[in-house]
Structure 1
Amino acid sequence: MRAVALLLLVAFAALSDAHGRNRSKRELLLRSKRRWVLSTIELTEEDPGPYPKTISQMFNDKTDKDRNDHEYVLSGTGVNVEPMGVFHINKDTGEVYVLRPVDREKTPFFHIKFDILNKNTGQPIDRQLSFDVEIKDINDNAPNFNKPRITENIKENTPEGTLPVRLEASDMDQMNTLNSNITFRVVSQKPSEPKITLTQIDSRMAHLQLIGCFDYDKVKTLDVIVEARDHGTPSLSSTAVVTINVVDTNTHPPVFKSNKYEGKVEEATKQRGILKLEVEDKDTPQTPGWRAKYTIVKGNEGGLFEIETDPNTNEGILNVIKESDFERTELLTLEISVENEEPLFVCKAASAGDVKVPPPASVKVTVEIVDINDPPYFDKPTNDVYQKEEEEPGKVLFTPNVKDDDSDINNIRYKLLYDPAKWMEIDKKTGQIKTVKKMDRESPFVKDGIYNITIGAIDDGNPPATGTCTVLIHLRDINDNTPKLVNNNVILCGNKEEMVMIAAQDSDVHPYSGPFTFSLRDTDGTLKQRWKIKPDVGQEGGLISLRTLPYGNYSVPLLIQDQQSIGGNNTVVVTICDCGKSTVCLSPEPFTASAGSSSIGAIFAALLLFLLLLLAVICKCGNNSLNHIPIVQDEGNQTLIKYNQEGGGAECMTKPSLLLTSTNGGTTRDGRKQVSQTDALIKDVNDKYKADLYTLQNQSSMGTLGMHQRDACQIYRGQNMNNSLRYQRSINLQSQQHIADHIGKRLQVINGNHENCPTYQPHQYAYEGQGSSCQTLDKISVSNLGDDFQFLNDLGPKFKTLGNICHEAVKEKNIKL
């Protein structure tokens, strides 16, 4: 054993250092005695102990036995490398111990290293000793199947021999030993037939074998137990279960339930399902081994019959696909065989001997042909008649020749079965066909110059039978159509072409059609100045523009003649347009506007010019207006007052009006307007005044005001001095303490108490005769006096005294005008 031999080896001697006084001397190799002494280390897996257990004794001859200045050190697998805690060494004596059992299947060997060190210095005294400790194997593992349970579906028609079932097993014990050598065998099977054995391929694999054949009717499932056993001591084994499901196949041929079948069919009739043939099959339904396939073996040489299989009942259905004639045969005998879609399987095992596959089952079928009234038949089913188109009606085109084997031909009546254009009539007694209208070869009912009609001959049998005949009337063409344009509208690309082709067609055939002759229908000679046709003969002609014409539509009258000089007047509309690179007119591009730098500059220049013109107009008009400033009356608060209301107070208190020019708080001096920035304040007070007035008019009782409100009255004052007019608005805000009194007075007015109301009240005056002849003062206006107030300096003798008094009052108060 290699492990024991390795442990008995002595460590190799180390090379001694070369000593010499002269370096040029050659180094000498000296042999030295071994220094490590190691006893045999034997270790068996799963050793029951007891532990710790001594397994070896280490010794090194470089140590002095009398001096205890060295120690042994153990390292490697099982010591300080996993699995750790397996080995231990006595540092003083060198004894090696194993501490626990070892599993060879987990660690098949241990790599161990021995060292001897000086206790004082910790330096090695000798070189390290390393070796591998192999573990002795025991048979502690049974063989294991890769698949301990196997299920296989095997067809019933599988022949005798190897089955597609493979078994594999493995053993974890040491390879190539008795402990891992496996033998397979079939322990048992249920049921016992058919016999299942196995063939072992190697020590790890085996195949099942079938002796005989499967029989689905007897055995549908087999359970086979297979054992795998090793050759170790003691021998260990395991088992696997193989379940074989037998799949039914065609092992039973179909058999007819009756030995003879009979059926009937009327002559000259196609019929499906005149007879159903039933079979019996013991195989599994709706499988290829059960589905029947029928074949007519004999008696169908004329191809009158076919047979098919009903997929649900597996019956054979006999059909008549071709009409039969009772006068030829009255009875037909058929031989029909049946087999399955899947070939029949017959077991050819060695024990069964020489077995042959039986032939398909067959049966005789008799079909009786029942005589019926045969229809009349024409001597020719298709007849050709030739006729010129547009001939006068009344001409006899065809007289049929009819025979009937079952009826008297004198009792046959005739009828038109197909006449789509209604051009024909038929004599019911003789079957003669006459035209009742002119026949047009160009009619849509005529295909390739042939008009097709069908006539029927009906006998007097029971039931009446009808025979048919087709008459093909070939119509010869005449020149009854003039040439016409294929397209009455054409496009002439004016940007690149001067000619456009115009094509013609004629419904007639040669020689009454093309090639055509094209010409202009020019009555006054103006067309030839613009157009000409070249080429003018052919299937199409070329219309050429003689000069450049503006884009648009042009109508060109044409005369087109066929080969017989029969012409037709046509007019083609020529559209002249820009086609670009294509052959059709370009569609008009949508309008888009894009402003470039030049466009934007032009827009700004136009705006600037407009502003300059507007400024010039304002300046011109402004000078005239400054020279004559009219004095207009202020419009007040623009409130419409209803004077016919007798009750309640006035709806609003109007502001005092002055005959002054409204300047919005500005100053007018020497005919020029200077505006002060008091608009905002005046507007605010005015709006506040209106809001308070609206509140007072809509209150029905006295209440507490939640917010402090202020009542504003506006005082207007006008001053005139040294040719100047000053218009000014000042605002006087009443204190909060007067609000209650003011509201009380207003409420009394609303309630109808007008005693203390300073507003206008209705009053009745006595009649004093006719009114004054003087004109009303409403017509007097000083607004036409202009802005010059010099007239106030000389008001006449009536106003001088008043003017002086006012002037003196102004001086006393030191007021500057």
Structure 2
Amino acid sequence: IYMYTLEILICACDACKTVTLHVPSKLDAEKFVGRVNLRECLKSANLIHSSDADFQVLEDGSVYTTNAVLFSSEKRHFTISLSNSENHEEKKMHVLLEHQTKIEALQQSHPKEKVLRRAKRRWAPIPCSMMENSLGPFPLFLQQIESDAAQNYTVYYSISGPGVDQAPLNLFYVERNTGNLFCTGPVDREQYPSFEIVAFAATPDGYHPEFPLPLLIRIEDENDNYPIFTNSTYIFTIAEHSRVGSTVGQVCATDKDEPGTLHTQLKYSILQQLPASPTLFFMNPTTGVITTTTSQLDREVLDKYQLKIKVQDMNGQHFGLQTTATCIICIEDVNDHLPTFTRPSYVASVEENTVDVEILRVSVEDKDLINTANWRANYTILKGNENGHFKIVTDPKTNEGVLCVVKPLNYEERQQLTLQIGVVNEAPYYRETTSRSAMSTATVTVNVKNQDEGPECSPPVQTVRIKENAPVNTKSPGYKAYNPDTQSSSDIRYKKINDPKGWITVDENTGSITTFRNLDREAESIRNGVYNVTILATDKVGRTCTGTLGIILEDVNDNGPVILKKTAIICKPTMSSTAIVAFDPDDPVNGPPFQFSLEEDSDADAQRVWALTKINDTAARLSNQNDLPFGPYTVRVRVTDRHGLSHTTPLNVIMCDCITENDCTFRGVPRTGTGEFRLGKWAILAILLGIALLFCILFTLVCGTAGAAKTPKAFPDDVTQQNLIVSNTEAPGDDKVYSANGFTTHTVGSAGAGACGTVGSGVIHAGQETIELVKGHQTLDSCRGGGQHTREPCGAGPVEVDRGRYTYSEWRSFTQPRLGEKVQLCNQDDGHEHAQDYVLTYSYEGQGSAAGSVGCCSERQEDDRLDFLDHLEPKFRTLAEACVKR
């Protein structure tokens, strides 16, 4: 008998041993070869790979042939790789097939010895399966188990495992003599997807010529389970006027049938919408995501829709099983309706010298959802209240505007006043509009009535001093009025009519005050440490006057300094620190100088990563000592006032890749629009001014190298600021300033103060002339008619250009971003329109030109890049046509 020896050498493991198996010279496909104990070499191997495609190794160490193998040489070997993906441990097993001859002596007189001397062989596994929920007839024949030893010996078969002698019991049995395997009843795959039983073959005398055969009985799936929605009713919410394709929500269903088959391939759909027309929603058949098909959802028309949805297996085929559910979509309100006054004008009257009285109520109409921020009104007085006599507030119950008198009127000074009031919602209007166009207005005429003069409250404002946190029932002189006839205060009675916080009581006879609660100087609405109480003085006949008692609250150090700005941005390319400012609501005598320190309970590395440097009494600089990656960090800073009272503030420090803080703040804002990109007026002006500046720089470079005998050319300053400070490095020169048409120019060697500050940073060298872009802080009050705007300095590191060797595009990319922000804010009038002066673009003519550029009329236009002039506004078309040769 010719046999091969399968010798497995397990290396790199002390627990491994050499295993020798005997196999025939010819092996059929899917034939069992032998088994090795993989756990002895690598206990937790989860990846097993054979280097020879003709052999495969299972998790239990069984080696099978994948193809028919015929051994033509004496030796054949391959490698089994074992690895654990969790701890990255790897082992290798070298498999050697070696041919050898073995003669087995057969003893006729001793058959038992003959059987015992015979080498054991593996019998091949037999694929086996059955359908779930089979209708029989039972017992149902599944497979025949047959041993090769049955050709020469009497063999009895038996099985063991789940379904036999383990639960469920007696589901399978095998005929002892034939090896026929039967099933006694139907099986539910969802309960038992497979059975792993073991088959045995034995001779009548108890000898096992074969190793136990692992046999897998797989239960084939039947589509007997309906797909089930995770909820019987889904409730989703979406805002009205949402864009087309906005996600409403997602539904999900499960199916107990076998995954990866058509039995669990689900398809979603909408069966019905109530109301049916128009169709507003779409459901993705694969994911179950519901989206909008229109942007015309209007809560004021209908605030709720109901969908009947369906899920069906078999990929939605008509014979698939299906289930339905209900989906309710609620339309959320947005502020798409403006409040409007019910009347265009109102008339009210009030007696002079009265205060804190309601004189008028106005009402508005709003179709948005009641009692929401989209419906609640905010009233304001637009005109006519320059002296502060009136205020208007919203009644939260009725949403009406209540107009009150807060400062007494004098009939002798003015008998009638006209007010203009406006109203908006608490929530902003959902469309982008200006404040006036989104505001309804009305006119109120207030008639002032005359009354007899009563007691005189003079001076109208009187003050007393009380320490804050003074004990309750602390008494102090109060307000004093007098009778102008008798110049006496004996018959005058006092009453407080406005005590905002209810802190005091007023003695009726003397006007003195007594504290009713603890006083707090830093309380909300307290300005400059003064608490105002309005006092009403009444004489014998009932005539009155009102005065204000200002209680000066003397400060007590009861508040620690705090850092108001909780978020700090550090633009990593340009700076490694940020300034933090602390504020103490207490009086300055109990405030700065402050001491800044890192909190001890911060991160363990805080002292190493961050450092605090004092700038002045109220500010410090937080510096990053390590090269931290971009992202947010939390730094706890303790600030202590001069008397030792402190407060700890957690700062959110953002390391950002930006030039200015605004770049970091707005970089993540998505662009909006219809997909069409158009340059605005300020962007066009920025491009033109940037190209004009480029021309000036190139003109200077060319003229600086033409020779010392030529007259130095004057550089025009930046229109918005004197960004270019030109100096002659050969020798100091006289400062000369020339002004023409509103442009300030400096000759080479001069410098002047700009009208709008400076932008950028860096130095550009060309020949012997130096152009410095000075970094600084810019205030736009001098450039614009109204408002105050501050631009943060923006700058990059030094940029050196040697004799114009950089191209036009490189110069333009350097100068345009730094001048774009300036142009957008400067050179515009009160209406935010361009000034009459405008800057043309010039072409860069390259290195070596002795004469320099001649401007927009040059014949060399291949580098002008003026195609963007085709998109200018109409008032610039004539200028563009005059400067570009068609």
TM-score bracket, normalised by the shorter chain, equals 0.3 to 0.5
Which has the higher Rg, Structure 1 or Structure 2? 1
